[in-house]
Amino acid sequence: MEYARAVQLEVSILKLLCHPNVVRYYGLHQTRDKLTAHIILEFVDAGSLGHVIQQRTPATFSEPEVANILVQVLRGLEYLHSKKIIHRDLKPLNLLVTSKGVVKITDFGLSTQVLQTCSLRRTIVGTPWYVAPGMCLH
């Protein structure tokens, strides 16, 4: 998919979203020649969950910490699914964390919106290490 089209699709999804566990979209800045685009999102100060895991010594989380992260991700996913949006690339690097422990889903570049009630997305996309095993067998 061409870069400009991919950015337009991601922005069209981001514009629909407003939830505490989904990163907030603020705008799009394009260079004058329209060759470069920057999506402007809310600042999330602690970085991605992937980076938090890498910096943690030892790299373990307590059960309450894991439960807190999972609840927030599930709330974000419940919201996305209520908008008929499928993320398709959920992984630690696409989960941002604030210094107060709020988890926000980000990176909607591979996301899609199911527009028909009986429509199913049968395409397999995403990061291979995080694709459900059942999806790889098809």
From the list 33, 45, 89, 107, the catalytic residue is 89
Q: Which two tokens stand for residue 43?
A: 């600042």
From CA 99, how far away is CA 86, in angstroms rounded? 27
Cis amide leading into 58 (omega within 30): yes
CB distance 24 to 6 below 8 Å: no
107 is catalytic: no
User: Distance of CA 17 to CAs 20, 99, 108, Å?
Assistant: 10, 22, 11
The distance from CA 40 to its chain's CA centroid, rounded to whole angstroms, is 15
Instruction: List, by residue number, the catalytic residues.
Output: 89
